Structure 1
Amino acid sequence: MRIFKFGGASVKDANGLKNLVKVLEQVGYQDTFLVISAMGKTTNAMEGVVNAYFQDKTLLAAALQDVLDYHLQVLKELFEAPDHPIYKDVQSLVEEAKGFLAWNKSPKYNFVYDQVVSYGELLSTTIVSAYLNEVGIRNSWLDIRNFIKTDNNYRDVDIQWEKTQERVSQGLEKGKLYVSQGFIGSDENNFTTTLGREGSDYTAAILAYCLNAHSVTIWKDVPGVLNADPRYFEESQLLNKISYREAIELAFYGASVIHPKTLQPLQRKENPLYVKSFLHPKDHGTMVGKGEGIDPKIPCFIVKKNQVLMKLSSLDFAFIVEDNISDLFKLLHDYKMKVDMIQNSAISFSVCVDNKFGRLEELLDHLKGKFKVVYHEGVSLYTIRHFDAQSIDSLQNGKEVLLEQRGKETVQIVVK
């Protein structure tokens, strides 16, 4: 079986779904599993619903109606019959989300987030499945929550691999075309969980691992894996081939094309991963698999924006040693700070973190009791793999460099 993952950009509107059909017609769809993300910016819209629920319930009805209207517009352009059953199906899903918010008693944001935001994927896959059937591409819609089982650490779950393997092995038939959701799973109580932003790639990798899949293809609006994000860097180049190790390094540092968790299960089973353009499906794209390094071997640029750089120094000029560092990492873990870069000297410790869960102020209050703390918000962390002097100069030009760290193959620079 092949696993195809289509992201939100590929199914953002009616034309996107029509193009998805063209892709399947060109590359085939027998014995294929489609993993589909929420349409366009629906995940952001569903986050807006959650925020309205917690912050201002007078905005809740309008936020849900916006989600419904967006999907209804897509339906009008895809289905000629105004009484097609898909309209009722989509309406029912939105009503289901509304019903959950009406009876929910949990005050926990992350729990509510997972229950509500997941409807983006349920809506998109319901529409994609119905449209494929409408144009003669027979498929089976699956609720992926019945297959991918996780713990209940909402918004940041771990996969329960044995249970997931068992359900996937028993529940799927060869030779069919399946349509299902990325990004979501369920815990032991069958509450919905999410795998993290961009988690649909991870879903595809989980399925590939459990099915011993032939390959995974991630369909993007770019020709493949580029050496730099064209939104931030000029003259980006296509990488024809990347080894698992190199791809894991790039993902670890924040390359946006491949989700950081996606590559480990693929590497364990040696499932090849292709990143290809849904606009030019016959083009080769990028292959990630066994081998060494990258082809061509050129500098690869990665940027993480809106980071926080903290410099901690001891109040009494004492050394910052193992005990201090252990305590610091425990605090960073407790306050859910993703560490992207560290550097320490005898009496100072610098760390660049992603304040993903908005708990910076709490952490700073805790740290200021033990350390002198200097911090900068809104900084950018640049990483260059396979750097050379020219690539470093191009980044530093005109920027205030706050921190720099070099290794054999990688340089990281924090700039303001």
Structure 2
Amino acid sequence: MRVFKFGGASVKDANGVRNVVNVLKVTGHENTLLVISAMGKTTNAMEAVISAYFNNKPEVNGAIQEVVDYHLEIMNELFENTSHEVYGKFQQLIDELKGFLTWNKSPKKSFVYDQVVGYGELISTTIVSAYLNDQGLTNHWLDVRNFIKTNNEYRDAKVNWELTQERITGGVNRQVLNITQGFLGSDDNNFTTTLGREGSDYTAAIFAYCLNADSVTIWKDVPGVLNADPRHFTETQLLNHISYREAIELAFYGASVIHPKTLQPLQRKEIPLQVRSFLNPEAPGTTVTKGHTIEPEVPCFIVKKNLVLLKLSSLDFSFIVEDNISEIFKLFHDNRMKVDLIQNSAISFSVCVDNKFDRLSELLQTLKSKFKVTHHENVTLYTIRHFNEQAIASLQNNHKILLEQRTQETVQLVVH
């Protein structure tokens, strides 16, 4: 069995949905499970609904209507008349969304976020499933929340692997074309949970692991895994083959083409991962397997923006040692700060963190009571794997470097 994952860019409009059919006709569609993300920028649109719900309730209906209009435009292009059953299914999902926002009493934003944002995936898979059926690609639509079970750590839920394995093994027919949602799961109370932003890749890996799949293919708008993000770098090269270890290193440092959590379950069962272009489905793309380091061996550039650089030093010039560092990392954990880089000396400690949960002010207040603190917001972290001096020089020329750190294979630069 194979698992295919299509991201939001691949189904952002009617032509994208039609192209999914083309990809399946080129590659075959038997014994395949499709994991599909929300269409285009729908997740951002759902986040606007959530923002209105908490900050300006009169704007909620308008924000929902934008979601409705966007999907109706796609549906009107794909289906010949509005009497098609998909329109009723779509309206039912919209009514469910509105119903939740009406009866919800929870003030917890992360809980509300997960209940609302997941409708993007439910809508996209409903539309794609209906279109595939119309094109003769009969498929089973699966609600992923019945299969991937998690804890209730909303917005970053942890998978209950034992229960998930049981649900997938017993509930997925391997002999047919299946379609399900990325990014979502459910907790013990059957409330929707999410696996973290860009978690659809992880969903594909979870299903592949539990189904002992032959391969996972992530279909993207790039030829495969590139040595740099073409949105930030003008000259890029395709990596034909990389190892799980190298891919995990790239993901750890923030390479956006592969989700950091995707690779571990695939590595455990040595399931090959392919990253291929949905614009050119016959091209081989990139293959991630055991053993191959990286081919060709060229510098790989990774960029992470909008980070915060913190520099801490002791108030009395005493050493910053294990107990201090332990306390600092507990604060990062409590404030849900992801650490991207650390560097320490005898009396100072520098760290680059991602403030995605907007807890910086609370963190700074606590840190300043214990340490001398300076911080720089909106910094950029560049990581170069397999670096050479020319690669470093290409970044140094145009930036003010706040921090530099090197190992044998990796250099990291924090710049303004």
- For Structure 1 versus Structure 2, the TM-score category normalised by the shorter chain is over 0.9
Deviations 1:7-26 (A, max 9, x none): 00000000000111000001
Deviations 1:347-394 (A, max 9, x none): 100000000100000000000001111000000000000000000000
Superposed structure 1 runs of 4+ greater than 3 Å apart: none
> Do the aligned residues in 1 keep the contact of 2:141 with 2:180 (CA within 8 Å)?
yes
1:103 alignment counterpart:
103
Q: Spell out the pairing of 1:244-255 with structure 2 (5 A cutoff).
A: 244-255=244-255
Matched letter for residue 222 of structure 1: V
2:199 alignment counterpart:
199
2:257 alignment counterpart:
257
In the TM superposition, residue 292 of structure 1 has moved relative to its aligned partner by 3.2
Deviations 1:290-349 (A, max 9, x none): 113100000000000000000001111111011100000000000000000000001100
1:10 alignment counterpart:
10
> Do the aligned residues in 1 keep the contact of 2:241 with 2:292 (CA within 8 Å)?
no
Say how many residue pairs are matched. 416
Question: What SS class does the counterpart of residue 260 from structure 1 fall into?
Answer: coil
In the TM superposition, residue 174 of structure 1 has moved relative to its aligned partner by 2.2
1:170 alignment counterpart:
170
In the TM superposition, residue 240 of structure 1 has moved relative to its aligned partner by 0.1
Cα distance in 2 between the residues matched to 1:88 and 1:65: 16
Matched letter for residue 148 of structure 2: I
Q: Spell out the pairing of 1:44-59 with structure 2 (5 A cutoff).
A: 44-59=44-59
Deviations 1:44-91 (A, max 9, x none): 000110111001001100000110111010010000022111111111
Cα distance in 1 between the residues matched to 2:156 and 2:26: 37
Cα distance in 1 between the residues matched to 2:48 and 2:90: 19
Cα distance in 2 between the residues matched to 1:254 and 1:131: 35
Matched letter for residue 140 of structure 2: S
Residue 86 in structure 1 maps to residue 86 in structure 2: yes
Cα distance in 1 between the residues matched to 2:36 and 2:51: 24
Cα distance in 2 between the residues matched to 1:102 and 1:157: 25
2:63 alignment counterpart:
63
Q: Spell out the pairing of 1:128-167 with structure 2 (5 A cutoff).
A: 128-167=128-167
Cα distance in 2 between the residues matched to 1:122 and 1:156: 19
Matched letter for residue 122 of structure 2: L
- Normalising by structure 2, we get a TM-score of 1.00
Question: What SS class does the counterpart of residue 59 from structure 2 fall into?
Answer: helix
2:314 alignment counterpart:
314
Question: What SS class does the counterpart of residue 91 from structure 2 fall into?
Answer: helix
Residue 413 in structure 1 maps to residue 413 in structure 2: yes
Question: What SS class does the counterpart of residue 148 from structure 1 fall into?
Answer: coil
Q: Spell out the pairing of 1:316-395 with structure 2 (5 A cutoff).
A: 316-395=316-395
Cα distance in 2 between the residues matched to 1:397 and 1:39: 39
Cα distance in 2 between the residues matched to 1:107 and 1:64: 20
2:222 alignment counterpart:
222
Cα distance in 1 between the residues matched to 2:83 and 2:33: 29
Deviations 1:100-135 (A, max 9, x none): 000000000000000000000000000000000011
- Normalising by structure 1, we get a TM-score of 1.00
Residue 241 in structure 1 maps to residue 250 in structure 2: no
Cα distance in 2 between the residues matched to 1:372 and 1:225: 42
1:291 alignment counterpart:
291
Cα distance in 2 between the residues matched to 1:66 and 1:296: 45
Cα distance in 1 between the residues matched to 2:197 and 2:325: 29
Stretches of structure 2 that go unaligned for 5 or more consecutive residues are none
Matched letter for residue 178 of structure 1: N
Matched letter for residue 369 of structure 2: G
Deviations 1:202-227 (A, max 9, x none): 00000000000010000000000000
1:400 alignment counterpart:
400
In the TM superposition, residue 234 of structure 1 has moved relative to its aligned partner by 1.5
Question: What SS class does the counterpart of residue 336 from structure 2 fall into?
Answer: coil
> Do the aligned residues in 1 keep the contact of 2:308 with 2:353 (CA within 8 Å)?
yes
Matched letter for residue 229 of structure 2: D
Cα distance in 2 between the residues matched to 1:307 and 1:56: 28
Question: What SS class does the counterpart of residue 329 from structure 2 fall into?
Answer: helix
Cα distance in 2 between the residues matched to 1:205 and 1:361: 36
Cα distance in 2 between the residues matched to 1:206 and 1:254: 20
2:37 alignment counterpart:
37
Cα RMSD (Å): 0.5
Cα distance in 2 between the residues matched to 1:87 and 1:191: 25
Stretches of structure 1 that go unaligned for 5 or more consecutive residues are none
Matched letter for residue 377 of structure 1: E
1:28 alignment counterpart:
28
Matched letter for residue 337 of structure 1: M
In the TM superposition, residue 398 of structure 1 has moved relative to its aligned partner by 1.9
2:282 alignment counterpart:
282
Cα distance in 2 between the residues matched to 1:125 and 1:285: 25
Question: What SS class does the counterpart of residue 92 from structure 2 fall into?
Answer: helix
Question: What SS class does the counterpart of residue 145 from structure 2 fall into?
Answer: helix
Cα distance in 1 between the residues matched to 2:81 and 2:62: 27
Cα distance in 1 between the residues matched to 2:135 and 2:285: 28
In the TM superposition, residue 173 of structure 1 has moved relative to its aligned partner by 1.5
Deviations 1:237-260 (A, max 9, x none): 000000000000000000000000
Identity of aligned residues (%): 71
